[in-house]
Structure 1
């Protein structure tokens, strides 16, 4: 199998509907893992999982370099913390999501038995957001309606404290090249890593390759930390979004990336706090840029001192790992996220060519 841009864009349009829609808040990624295993059921890899729930595909190549590529399966979401006497559900967050994202949203609750139940989340201020004098500052100002009259009604539905909640944004196709949906951070990159697994399936002259579909990235990259500690890679690359700030009201000086610029090569993140941030390995960044130029792959650079990815936490493990990131620009992160299919294809091509270059 060889990379084909047109086929990649077509496959992404077809598969992202299922990948975006599948239920998978942090700590509840099993439905995502099952879908990935179905997509990759025909590949010739050693497949395993660990105690955290990471899904790992390993292909032993001829190269000595051990390479880990991660894409996280989890999405930001909610978790039920209380059920009141009237049958309303009260929640806390799983990952970084702002209260303004909650007004009137359709949500899906998954019970312990795996049943999906519809709900609507709203605030203590009835009506539209513009009737609020101030924006709610906490998720505790919101509740979920599931059509119950009492706490017992909720219990009879199978809902209980500790169940996870996904905020539903159906996939939509915008114009000729753009797609909006839920959890494109990071399901667009789950797609990319699936495709990389397929592209390398019949290749022998590659590094010792680990594709890690990681868990709990949105709550501190916990899955990636465990996977990298166990695998002990020489190089670790995280696949994640890069902020596309090409929207009204953002000054040029505050621009990070833009849709349609191609793949994004990460240079740094989260250095504003000095804790847990990444300064990408300079050799890794240089090789990525060289690969992009030699193969005429459009790319941009992300140098943004906020946010974090799996690589931000893997870099300092095991005495140090050469770490970096290959990304895709994305608008409206942790909301109704939007990507450009041309950027997705460019990201896959850069990743594929980069991995092949590590065997040269």
Structure 2
């Protein structure tokens, strides 16, 4: 199993926090061939289990979160421009001029965060970042009705519309690295341990809504007999 291929498959699945259903289905398909059993909790967490050979051996859980930082449509004006709010910890300075993708039942719809042209920007504006409530998304639509015809309503989730970029030394930059890198890790471990006789039972946990306050992680262990757990997440690069 190739690590990069696992990650790139995961990177194709949009999973803004609170809207993880597509990633939940994907993780079920990834873990089902590797585990003795797989189920989804009422909260939406995916749990895969590889049974150990010794019922008295310590049990281990390996956890990563399925959700990613995103945005949500807050308003659509009569000219078809969208005001939006964040889901999770997105920073305003990362947004100006960026492409965002709405996740709709009709399929993805891409727009751009509007940026005032340089020739009408004041020196003060050029040195500052506008607050989120002053930003807007331009889909190219001409009216509120046209936006709605695309499947976009108030409450529609959005994510960055940036594909993964392969860097030097086998590294990948992608908006979804947090935490699709962690999900990649638990799939790779499950693949490595498939069919291996070890004493301990191992639980593979893909949880929801980490970006919204660790909501999935708080509940996932309540019904599991786990002696130790490892949470896999990302950290900063270059700082």
| Shorter-chain TM-score above 0.5 | yes
Output the CA distance in 2 between the equivalents of 1:30 and 1:221. 17
Matches within 5 A, 1:72-91: 72-91=65-84
Q: Counterpart of 1:37?
A: 28
Count of residue pairs the alignment pairs up: 235
C-alpha distance in 2 between matches for 1:202 and 1:216:
31
Pairing 1:15–2:6 present: yes
**Aligned partners of 1:234, 1:216: CA distance in 2, in Å?**
23
What residue in structure 2 maps to residue 121 of structure 1?
113
Aligned ranges for residues 233-272 of structure 1 at < 5 Å? 233-245=226-238
Query: For 1:323-347, what per-residue CA distance to the aligned partner results, in whole angstroms no more than 9, with x for missing partners?
Result: xxxxxxxxxxxxxxxxxxxxxxxxx
Could you list the structure 1 runs, at least 4 aligned residues long, displaced by more than 6 angstroms after superposition: 128-131
Give 2:221's aligned residue: 228
Are the counterparts in 2 of residues 108 and 165 from structure 1 also a CA contact under 8 Å?
yes
Report the secondary structure of 2:223's partner residue. Answer: helix
Query: What is the TM-score of this pair, normalised by structure 2?
Result: 0.89
Contact 2:59 / 2:201 at 8 angstroms: preserved in 1? yes
The Cα shift of 1:232 comes to: 4.7
Q: Deviations over 1:40-69 (max 9, x none)?
A: 342242111112211110122125323221
After superposition, the C-alpha distances for 1:260-319 in whole angstroms (9 at most, x for unaligned) are xxxxxxxxxxxxxxxxxxxxxxxxxxxxxxxxxxxxxxxxxxxxxxxxxxxxxxxxxxxx
Structure 2: gaps spanning 5 or more residues: none
Is 1:144 the counterpart of 2:137 in the alignment? yes
* Structure 2: distance between partners of 1:178 and 1:46: 33
Q: SS of the counterpart of 2:129?
A: coil
Alpha-carbon contact 1:90-1:144 (below 8 Å) kept? yes
Q: Highest relative contact order (Cα 8 Å, sep 6+), 1 or 2?
A: 2
User: 39, 44, 47: which one pairs with 1:56?
Assistant: 47
Q: Given the two structures, how large is their TM-score scaled by the length of structure 1?
A: 0.61
Matches within 5 A, 1:193-208: 193-208=186-201
Question: Any gaps of 5 or more consecutive residues in structure 1?
Answer: 1-6, 247-360
RMSD, matched Cα: 2.2
d(CA) in 2 for partners of 1:130, 1:227: 51
